[in-house]
Chain A
Amino acid sequence: MDKVLLITRPNYDPPTTWLHAWAGELLEQAKKSKLGFIDLSGEKARLKELEGRLEKVKPDFVVLNGHGSSDSVTGQDDEVLISIGNNEALLANSVTYAISCNSAKNLGPECVKQGTRAYIGYKEEFAFALDESKTRYPLEDDTARIFLDPAYKVAHSLLKGHSAKESYEGAIGMHKKTMRELLTTDSREDAVHLLPYLFANMNRLACLGDGQATI
C-alpha cells in the first residue's frame, strides 16, 4: 500500500501565507514521488476535516503548518487542530513534523506517548523574517528563504527516506551552514539582524520519539 502524506496549510495571515507557499514546494516533491498526499489547504485546514482524514486514512507522514502553543497546533483562523488530552492519539503510527511554535514542549512528548513514532517540532517560538513586498509571491522572498529552507529541510529529508534523526540533523546542519554564510557575507546588510532568530530556531528544533523512524 502506498504511503500517504497529510499536510495542513492554513492561509489567513502573513506567517501562514508564507508557510503555505513553502509547504507547497514540499507537495511538489511529494507529487514526484510515489507518496499519496492529502493537502488540507486554507479552509480545509480545520479540525473536522483533519480528524476525519486522520481517522480514515491514517497517514504515515503528517506535516502541520501553522501557529501553536506548548499544548496544541492550530489551523485555519487559529482553529485548534491537535491538542493534549483531546486527539493527539490520531497521530499514532505517523512521523509528524510541526512547523508551529512551542508544540514540541508538551504536545510532542504526549503524542509520542500516545503512539506517534517520531515528532519533530519546536520547543519555543519559531520566528522568521519576511519581506512585506512579497505578499503575493512569498517564494520570491529571499529573506524568508533563509529561515524556511532550513526549516522545511526536515520534511524534504523525510520524503527522501531519511530517518527522523537524520532529517533533524540535516536541518540543524543547514541552519549552521546558513549562519556561517551570513556571518561571512558582505552582500547582505541585514545579515546581522537575521542571525539571532535563525540561531534561536536551530536551538529550539527538537526530535522526539524514535529517531530511526522513517516514512
Chain B
Amino acid sequence: MKQKDRKITTDEDIRELVKARLQNFPSGKKISIGGDGDFSKEDLIEAVDQQTDLGKKIINIQMEYIRAFKDGTLLAQING
C-alpha cells in the first residue's frame, strides 16, 4: 500500500469508535470505576468526548479489549 493511501488511526478515530461502542450500553446499568464513581452510558460518552481522566481510562479499557480480540490474544488467554 502506498504511503499516501495508508490510513492512520487518530486519537479522534479511537474516541469515535469507543463512543459508538458505548451507545448501546444498557440503560439502568452503570459502570463503577475506581474512586471516580459510577457512571451511566451518557456519563461515559461525555467523558470520552471531553477527554477527561475518566474518558482516558474508558478508552484504555475498551482499546485493550479490542486489540486483544483482534490479534487473538484474548481468545488464547481465556481458553488457556
Contact = CB atoms under 8 A, between A and B. Distances in A.
Given A13-B37, A176-B77, A189-B26, A195 B32 contact: no
A128 B31 CA distance: 6
A14 B64 contact: no
B35 A132 contact: no
Contact of A127 (B28, B32, B74, B78): B32
Interface in B38-80: 38, 57, 61-62, 64-66, 68, 74, 77-80
B29 A131 contact: yes
Interface in B1-31: 21, 24-26, 28-31
Interface string A173-215: 0011001100100000110010111011001000000000000
Chain B binding surface, main DSSP class = helix
Nearest to B54: A125
Interface residues of A, number: 35
Contact of A129 (B24, B29, B57, B64): B29
A184 to B, nearest CB: 11
Contacts of A78: 35
A101 B78 contact: no
Contacts, number: 82
A69 interface: yes
Contacts of A93: none
B77 to A, nearest CB: 7
Interface in A8-36: 13-15, 18
Q: How large is the interface on B (under 10, 10 to 19, 20 to 34, 35 or more residues)?
A: 20 to 34
Contacts of A131: 28-29
Nearest to B18: A196
B78 A180 contact: yes
Nearest to A19: B32
Given A180-B79, A189-B26, A127 B35 contact: no
Contact of B65 (A67, A143, A199): A199
A74 interface: yes
Contact of B38 (A68, A101, A130, A203): A130
Given A193-B24, A195-B65, A200-B64, A67 B30 contact: no
B79 A127 contact: no
A69 B35 contact: yes
Given A179-B78, A195-B65, A199-B64, A127 B24 contact: no
Contact of A200 (B21, B32, B61): B61
Contacts of A128: 31-32
Interface of B: 21, 24-26, 28-38, 57, 61-62, 64-66, 68, 74, 77-80
Q: Report, nearest first, the 3 A-B pairs whose CB atoms are least far apart.
A: A67-B35, A196-B65, A125-B34
